[in-house]
Homo-oligomer: A and B are copies of this chain.
Amino acid sequence: MGAAKGKMSRRDFLKTTGSAAVAGITLSGLMWSPAEAAPLPKKWEETYDIVIIGSGFAGLAAAYEAKKAGASVVVFEKMKTPGGNSIINGGVVAAAGSPLQEKAGIKDSPELLLQDMLRAGLNLNYVELAREVAYQSNETVQWTIKELGVEYKDKLTQEGGHSVPRMYSTHNQSGSAIVTKLLAKLKDLGVTPRTQCFLTQIYRDKDGRVKGVQIRDGYVFPKENSGKTKNIRAKKAVILATGGFGADVDFRRAQDPRLDETVDTTNQPGATAEALKEAIRIGCTPIQLSWIQLGPWGSPDEKGMGLNPFFAQLCCAMYGLWIDTKTGKRFVNELADRKIRADAILRVGNKCIAFTDAHGFAIGEKLIAEAIPKLLERGVVKKYETLEDMAKAYDIPLEPLKETIEKWNKSVLAGKDEEWGRYLQKDQKPLGPGPYYASRLMPKVHHCMGGIRINTKAQAIDMFNNKPIAGLYAAGEVTGGVHGAVRLGSCATLDCLVFGRIAGQNAAKETPWC
């Protein structure tokens, strides 16, 4: 099995395997061994209730909740600027059962979002973690609006794998809109992330409790020995919110040997695995590390995340088509989950384009107004007056391409995509005669589904006894289990905010060990 083909929930699996068959031994296993504990430092340079490592969504949300609950808080960030991947992400957050959905007449529910997550996740998800995220989705987005003052556009969008449009988009189409609000709120509360502070050690004492960390203050990424060593005491807890390892070539290819240095990533350079490894070293449970997501909407004509994801998704996957240039045909449901689409692009030989017409482009000009001129200017998106011009530019056989468009237009008019089962937008229109706008597609390493194991309280779980590690919490991409095999777009920000808040709230309730 490993990953069943998506149709089987854990409940179904149990149903079909029956209760008769019971086997396997449950061992508590050896305890994490205090003999291996690093001795606590003789001197703590600084002391806080709560020490947070990482300043993306999860770390900042944790800091905000912990500080509001009255704890003293410090946030360490290894890079020169706070925000991690969160500050460069696409600024989309899923909310199931939201006011915007009600306004648009879109029926949705947290349970439907959960089922979407489990289907994409091939049921490898920790269901109880995914449920927290799905059921707190609308509340969390409303919290960003009411509590933080984040501004969103008034039109919902749809990423692949979601049954319905349910994505809120920040006004600037970037996670920075949320990060900057969180930073401002934290500043008001007296907390400013300490940048260039790199985690080098987590102190787990002989009693099994985490009691602090060692950092390098003044660290210059990626120079290992830069900065000055300091020991920081955490009276209540340490919260790991250090993100994924999409930019860590060595670690990601250890898990998936195909993802070597020739494969581009959307991640910032600091998305590396040092903190994850340190967590494993002190007894955290590594889970599902080999599930690494490629974003299907990357472009070979720009580096990193770039801007093409917006165009390829919002203008094309929602309002245009994705085409295999060798055949002139569609090759995937353009709104399937990211794995299905990335696999499909690679399978047809990475010769695919996304394109749309004047209608889709006009929506783009409204939704992602700042991005469109840049995309054209950089040549990532190109404009073609006629279908013939576009076919010629990408060497697409013209007649099959015409047939593809005719077929699609009939589907739109009929209200059903018989060929691929794609969700049709309420303002979907048949593709017009031209002009057309197109970009090339190339999958890029985007998100690490695996990480360390947590429970619904965001407590890190000990590999040796399957119990929470006292004094250690984790949230966001450094953790695994929420998304199973495949994460849905717009669920990462949600995951980070939901579990970041949970971690901050629960850490603040801990009894200090000193």
Query: Does A255 sit within 8 A of B, measured CB to CB?
Result: yes
Kindly report which residue of chain B lies nearest to residue A16, judged by CB atoms.
B350
B4 touching A261, Cβ below 8 Å: no
Number of identical monomers bound together in the oligomeric complex? 2
B2 touching A256, Cβ below 8 Å: yes
Query: Does A123 sit within 8 A of B, measured CB to CB?
Result: yes
A257 touching B2, Cβ below 8 Å: no
Q: Which residues of B contact A258 (CB under 8 A)?
A: 1, 4, 8, 10, 13, 123-124
Which of A135-143, A153-161, A245-253, A493-501 contacts its partner?
A245-253
Q: Which residues of B contact A26 (CB under 8 A)?
A: 249-250, 261
Which of A61-69, A109-117, A264-272, A410-418 contacts its partner?
A264-272
A20 touching B300, Cβ below 8 Å: yes
Which residue from B125, B248, B277 sits with its C-beta under 8 Å from A30?
A: B277
Which residue from B21, B25, B201, B450 sits with its C-beta under 8 Å from A290?
A: B450
A207-261 residues with Cβ-Cβ distance < 8 A to B are 222, 224, 246-252, 254-261
A433-475 residues with Cβ-Cβ distance < 8 A to B are 442-445, 449-450, 453, 461, 463-464, 466
Distance between A342 CB and nearest chain B CB, rounded to angstroms: 5
A33 touching B450, Cβ below 8 Å: no
Which residue from B200, B255, B444 sits with its C-beta under 8 Å from A288?
A: B255
A263 touching B30, Cβ below 8 Å: no
Total contacting residues, chain A, CB less than 8 A? 105
Bitwise, A466-486 to B at CB < 8 A (1) or not (0) is 100000000000000100011
Kindly report which residue of chain B lies nearest to residue A204, judged by CB atoms.
B36
B300 touching A21, Cβ below 8 Å: yes
Q: Which residues of B contact A55 (CB under 8 A)?
A: none
A263-297 residues with Cβ-Cβ distance < 8 A to B are 263-265, 267, 269, 272-274, 277-278, 280-281, 283, 285-294
Q: Which of A25, A250, A444 has the most CB of B within 10 A?
A: A25
Distance between A8 CB and nearest chain B CB, rounded to angstroms: 5
Distance between A29 CB and nearest chain B CB, rounded to angstroms: 6
Kindly report which residue of chain B lies nearest to residue A14, judged by CB atoms.
B262
Q: Which residues of B contact A485 (CB under 8 A)?
A: 2
How far apart sit A277 and B453, CA to CA, in the bound complex (Å)?
A: 14
A248 touching B16, Cβ below 8 Å: no
Query: Does A35 sit within 8 A of B, measured CB to CB?
Result: yes
Q: Which residues of B contact A127 (CB under 8 A)?
A: 257
With contacts A16-B346, A346-B13 taken as known, whether A24 is within 8 angstroms of B247 at the C-beta atoms is yes
A262 touching B30, Cβ below 8 Å: no
Which residue from B8, B20, B224 sits with its C-beta under 8 Å from A347?
A: B8
Distance between A76 CB and nearest chain B CB, rounded to angstroms: 16
Query: Does A22 sit within 8 A of B, measured CB to CB?
Result: yes
Q: Which residues of B contact A453 (CB under 8 A)?
A: 254
B248 touching A125, Cβ below 8 Å: no
How far apart sit A255 and B285, CA to CA, in the bound complex (Å)?
A: 9
Query: Does A303 sit within 8 A of B, measured CB to CB?
Result: yes
Query: Does A23 sit within 8 A of B, measured CB to CB?
Result: yes
Q: Which of A123, A288, A351, A464 has the most CB of B within 10 A?
A: A288
**Residues of chain A having any CB pair with chain B under 8 Å:** 1-5, 7-8, 10, 12-14, 16-30, 32-33, 35-36, 38-39, 123-127, 200-201, 222, 224, 246-252, 254-265, 267, 269, 272-274, 277-278, 280-281, 283, 285-294, 300, 303-304, 339, 342-343, 346-347, 349-351, 442-445, 449-450, 453, 461, 463-464, 466, 481, 485-486
A-B contact pairs, 19 of them (CB 8 A): A1-B256, A1-B339, A2-B292, A2-B293, A16-B346, A16-B349, A17-B264, A17-B350, A21-B444, A22-B262, A24-B249, A29-B274, A30-B224, A36-B38, A124-B257, A124-B258, A254-B287, A280-B280, A280-B286
